[in-house]
Each structure stands twice: as C-alpha cells, then as structure tokens.
Chain A
C-alpha cells in the first residue's frame, strides 16, 4: 500500500509536470507538421504565462486571463509566421528572437504595470483555475468534513479509489484539455481534410500549391493553432499550477517540449507518451533526492541530471533516427 501510494503520488506529479510539456509539444507538432520549425515555444509560453496572470490579476477572472494569454501567444505566432512564411526568413532565427523578445518584454511590461519586480500580483479565488473534483473522489471537501488531511484519507482507502482520486480527479480543467487534445490532434491530423493538407504542406508544399490550395494560408493556420496551444500551456503554468507570473517561469520547458516532439517523431500519441516520460523522470528525480545506497549518498546533482541522462540513453537505445517533416525549416519559394 505504501509503495502504491508513493507510485500514485509520483504519477500524479508526472501528470502535472507533463501537462505544460504536452500542450507545448502538440503546439510544436502542428507547426512543424506544416513545415514551420518552431524553437520559440518557450517564448510563446512565457508571454502567455505573463499575460494570463496579468489579466487574471487585474480582472479577477481566470477565463479572461486565459484568453489574454492565448492572444499574446498568437501575436508572437503571427510574428513568427510573418518572418518565416510571408518573408521566408530563417525559422530558427525567428524562433530565437521570439524567445529573447518574450524573456525581455514580460519583465519589462510586468515592471511597468505592477512594479513588483517582473512579477504579477498573486492570484486567488476566481483568478485561478481550481482543480476539478470528480464524484466520489477524495478531495479537500472530504478533508474539511472529516477534519483530517487529504493525504491521510488517501493513504487509508483502497488502491482503485486512491488512483481514481489522485490521478483522474483533482486536476485543473486545462489538464483535461491537454490530454483531450491528443486524440483530437490525432483525429484532425489523420481524419480531416485540414489534417491531410497540413501534413502535405509540411512534406511537399509544391504538391499542395499545384493542387490549388494555399500554402501560405495553411501554414498560417498551423502556426496559429500552435499559438493557441502555447497560450494554454503558459496560462496553465501561471494560473493553474501557480498563482501568478514569475520571470522566466517556463524554465526551459519549451525546449524540453521540443525534445519530446522529436522524440515522438512528430506523432500525437507518441508525443503524449514522450511528455509523460519526461514528466515521470522529473517527478522521480524530485521525489527521490539524496538516495542512500548503503552508505553512499547519491549527490543531488546526479538526481537532478538523471532525467536528462535517461533521455539520452532512451533516445540512443530505443528510439533511433527521427526524420522530420521533409519540408520542415525550408521556406517555400516558387521563384528565386
């Protein structure tokens, strides 16, 4: 039971850590499947995190915050599209610039609006995403009723109920959105006209062009979806996981999401597993610091690096070659 409890808790942590990665990873998937490489996921998330928290703080409504976050991320997406689709610029450079821009702008604006050192005021009540409680799940209400902490109640119930209460129930709505996006993305990509065209434009834009479909339009659409998802990811960080924006709070998650995307070879279900794997590795590393192996204490640095080491090992051992969408990174040029 104790082991099971620990396992469930680690998995619960995995889900929370994986959610922003998953959203960003799916965002990148749309963009890169359409042939637009995006290393600016990090910047878009950060911008969205700030604007969602800022608007939620000012209006007191987390939903307005979410919209603001998405809008902010969309603006950066439009910039990326402008540079890499309309003006056929270098997609990597544009992504790098967007990351810098977000990193600087968030703090600059935060400072001039709130004067709290690049931070937004803390969110409370309606300004934050509450976690959803499923029927029959153990949650804070039960704790209040019985006057005992949730963790105690959890440790007393049976395994199924425990897993149900911890893993399925008790997450913010954005978590469910993120995981529902996986089948949805799969369905859009492989079952709809839009998906067919999207994948085609990432493989061979000339084929799409000569088939009478606008390459530019499709790519902008993909980049816009990417913006929306990054927006949700950022809002999740600042308004669901946390209660406000702190500078650089994305802490490299956009890059990890990018790694997960390559890991998943640009496929939605694999993306989910990759993000869960990254989440799990991090959760494990956080949970089991300073492990004592018969007198030898593993230094915290080893545990800290472990997710990254394991990623490399798994990548080298099991994943093999990842072939990106063929037209990825190349601007579509008819006439030179």
Chain B
C-alpha cells in the first residue's frame, strides 16, 4: 500500500460558536483526483483552508507524504508542496498576470530578474499543461476562466505537488470546465495529487477517483467514484432524495411581453458591449441566453433592469420603456413590472450587512405596502419576510440575521423569493444557481418554472449550459454583443451551442 499524499486526522475548527469542522479525517492517495462535495456551509472550504495554512485548526493532525507536518501558515503549506485555488480568487486585480504569479515567490530584492525568470518558466509551464495566459494583461482585464488559470499557474510555479481547487468550475463555461479537467488529468498523470470541491455531481462522476461527502461540518462518507452514482451522492449530501432533473411541462407561450429592437449598450469605459440586438420573450416562456461570460449578457440584463442606460427600443407589454433619464432606473423598472435576480447576489442583489428582513424590501422599499405614514412599516416587512422564509425554506429561518451570515444558497433563495413573489410580468434572472448546492438548485429551478407556468415571461442568463438546457423553452446565444442565433432545446445540442458561443455562426436563425 502506498503512503497517502495527504492524511488529515481528527481536524476540528470552530469560528466562534460555529463548529465548521468536527473531527474530520480523510486520506488521499498520491496521483489521484479526490472530490469533495457537500451543501453550502458544510465546511469544505474551511477544511481546505486549514490544509493550506490559511486557517489554523483547533485540533487535529496533518500528515503529508507520510510525515506529520505543521502548517501554521500558507508559507509552510507552499513549502510542503501544497497549492490552492480559492473559491474567491486571491489575485491582485490591478497587477499583471506575471506580477500575481511572482508575488511571494520572488527570487531577490529586485523585481526585474524575478519577472524575467517567471516569464520564461511560465512559457514552459504553459506549453507543458496547455495553460495559456497573457502574462502582461492585468487581472481586471481578463475573464474569470483566465484568472483561474493564473491561480493554477501560481501553484505550479511554486512547485505544488498537491493542488486544491475550491469550486473551480462555478464561474466557468462548459468548454472552460472541460479544459480545466483535461489539465487536471494531465497533472494527475504526472503524479500530482488533486483535491476538487464542487457542487456538480457530473464533474465528480466524470473526473474523480474518490469522493468525500461533507454535511454540517462532518465527513459523512468517502467512497470510490466508480462504486457510486449521482443519486446516492446527492442523498448523502442533502440527507433526502433529490430530483436531479427539472420536471416541467411544455411551455404555452402567449403574447409577447418583452420586445427588444436594435438595442445597443455602451459601458462606462465607452466600449460597446451590446451591438444592436433584437429579442422577444412571450408570456409563459423561459428564454435562456447562453454565452461565455463577458459577451454582453450582463449588460443586457442591466439595461433591462434599469441599472445602466442603452440605445434602441425596449417594449414591455407593448409600451416603450425609457432607457435613460427618468423612468429608466431600477425603481421605475420594478413599477413597470420587471423583477430582477441579479448575477452577483453579494455585490448587487443583497446588502450583506442588512438583516434578511431589510433585504426582503431591497429595491421595493418604496412600495406602499411597506409604508406607514412617514415611515417604513417594518412590522409588515418582517411578517412578509417570515412568510417568504417559510415558503422558500431559507435556513436558518431567522429574519434577524444579516445577509452575510447565510450561506450562498440561502442568500440566493432570499433574492429569488423577493423577486418571484412580486409576481412580475417579466423576470430577469442572472446566474441563478452559481455556487449553490444541489438541494437549493432544485428548489430555485422549481420556483422559476412555477412562475412561467403562471404565464409570466422569463429571461434567463446563465453560463451553465446544463441549466440553460433544463430550464429554457427557447435558447439564444450571445457572442461579442450579438445574438448568434436562437434554437429550441429539443433541436440542438451542447456541441452546436458551444460553436455558436465561440462565435462560429451556424445557419441563420
């Protein structure tokens, strides 16, 4: 029997009163890919952060390659050959790729030789692993996919033999995700050990050798991937049966609710992000917009949601909407019957320091229902919140917690509850299940379909092709600010969409 590359023994960690990890033991063989799954807040990230020396365990031992190792800080982890790609990348946004890679791994007091050396080594690494990046671009100029490659390169540059990836595919397109796993496979074949955290069972099934399931801070099972199946894993994770497929009846589209003609959007830097598109969404229909992140989908949603100005024509139920000046902001849109689940719940959809009940009014705080005399009717608001928490099964069911103390999945439920319960004519949905565990995904998908079945129009933007396929009644693909074509889900496949997303035009839509 080989010595495990990593062995954790009895790791415990508490954040104040929260027990994030309870007596966790795990062992990973060298040259394998080990998957970790678990609900939001199960303690996966915490465990990995302990292994990487970012947090310190309260109790427990870490053994690397058969040796008991103390990892008090990240420096020690790096020295032991561990590299980690965090769920939220740890990159300096206004540094170049190269600067980010050498940061902390410089050779001497002066920068120039370090950078020169890194540039050379990067070239070698790039070729070896097909990890292509432009070393002179700034991080805030490149997409998330590229950013992730930078993170992996950072680890490899530091000669990592053990690589930890925390939800690496959460922000990637399918093509990017596939490429990532090809790279991981190659690393494995070179004898490196890899741990991957993900919420996507398919990725686990296709790529890992072994898989561990975590629930509420405890390790509930570790199995060989070959010996299990998605249904079993899902049950281990959530503790109940989960529907992995969206269950919906065919759409019965009605009259057009949203009609977009020749819409263009220019961002604050003066770059045209949406270039004269036409699109319509009918009542009782979900239109999904597929595309690689950064091709204008976000800006499209933002114009429709009143977050930025645009040119062209948008009609809602036949009436033209203002696109700049009065009547074009988020307040006006809500009054016009548009609800909006934004792409980024933490930066946009919620005020992280507000209580859940305050967040339930966010955007609707001027609604007369929440008004009493000069003041806001907080009692009514809290009652409303309780109803929503109950209906959407937000956990923990406590309106007096700040948004930031909920897990990502539950934060998303709060946003979805707020927007769907408005019963809007048009619902805009951006990345509804990013980083959300499968239990919550199932629930959110059900709610969106239910709204459609009430005859509402829904415009969905997602980089998850799987999600686009399972929810949409019609799919439009965006590339470089244009709509490359529209397809019905039944009449297309991932391959064709992938080509459209890459800008390869199919036959005219």
Contacts and interface: CB of A to CB of B under 8 A. Distances in A.
Interface of A: 190-197, 199-200, 203-204, 206-214, 326, 334-336
6 contacts: A195-B111, A204-B93, A208-B104, A211-B90, A212-B104, A214-B73
A200 B54 CA distance: 17
Nearest to A206: B90
A193 B110 contact: yes
B501 to A, nearest CB: 30
Given A212-B74, A336-B15, A203 B84 contact: no
B75 interface: yes
B285 interface: no
Interface in B102-129: 102-106, 108-112, 114
A214 B75 CA distance: 9
B100 to A, nearest CB: 7
Nearest to A190: B111
Closest 10 CB pairs of A and B: A211-B104, A212-B75, A207-B90, A193-B106, A210-B90, A212-B74, A213-B104, A203-B92, A200-B92, A212-B78
B354 interface: no
Contacts of B93: 203-204, 326
Interface string B42-79: 00000000001011000000000000000001110111
Contacts of A194: 109
A197 B15 contact: no
A17 to B, nearest CB: 33
Contact of B92 (A190, A192, A207, A334): A207
A212 B90 contact: no
Nearest to B77: A212
Q: Which of A195, A197, A207, A210 gathers most chain B CB within 10 Å?
A: A210
Nearest to B14: A335
Contacts of A208: 103-104
A196 to B, nearest CB: 6
A251 to B, nearest CB: 36
Nearest to B15: A335
A120 B54 CA distance: 51
B91 interface: yes
Given A197-B103, A209-B54, A212-B105, 6 more contacts: A191-B112, A194-B109, A209-B74, A211-B103, A212-B77, A212-B104
A319 B84 CA distance: 40
Contacts, number: 78
Nearest to A204: B92
A291 B5 CA distance: 81
Nearest to B83: A210
A35 B100 CA distance: 18
Contacts of B102: 196
A199 B93 CA distance: 11
Given A210-B74, A211-B74, A192 B104 contact: no
Given A195-B111, A196-B99, A207 B91 contact: yes
A221 B182 CA distance: 43
B346 interface: no
A213 B109 contact: no
Given A191-B110, A193-B109, A335-B55, A203 B74 contact: no
B90 A204 contact: yes
A207 B55 contact: no
B55 A210 contact: no
Contact of A203 (B52, B55, B73, B94): B94
Given A203-B92, A204-B91, A335-B15, A196 B54 contact: no
Contacts of B84: 210
Contact of A192 (B15, B74, B110): B110
Contacts of B86: 210
A209 B109 CA distance: 19
Q: Which of B52, B79, B91, B112 gathers most chain A CB within 10 Å?
A: B91
A208 B73 CA distance: 12
Contacts of A193: 106, 108-111, 114
A334 B54 contact: yes
A203 B95 contact: yes
Contact of A196 (B74, B91, B106): B106
Nearest to A197: B103
Nearest to A195: B111
Nearest to B154: A211
A28 B77 CA distance: 34
Interface in B250-287: none
A197 B109 CA distance: 11
A264 B154 CA distance: 32
Contacts of A192: 109-111
Interface in B392-406: none
A88 to B, nearest CB: 15
Interface in B6-35: 15-16
Nearest to B78: A212
A336 B20 CA distance: 13
Nearest to A326: B93
A220 B114 CA distance: 24
Contacts of B103: 196-197, 200, 207-208, 211, 213
Contacts of A336: 15-16
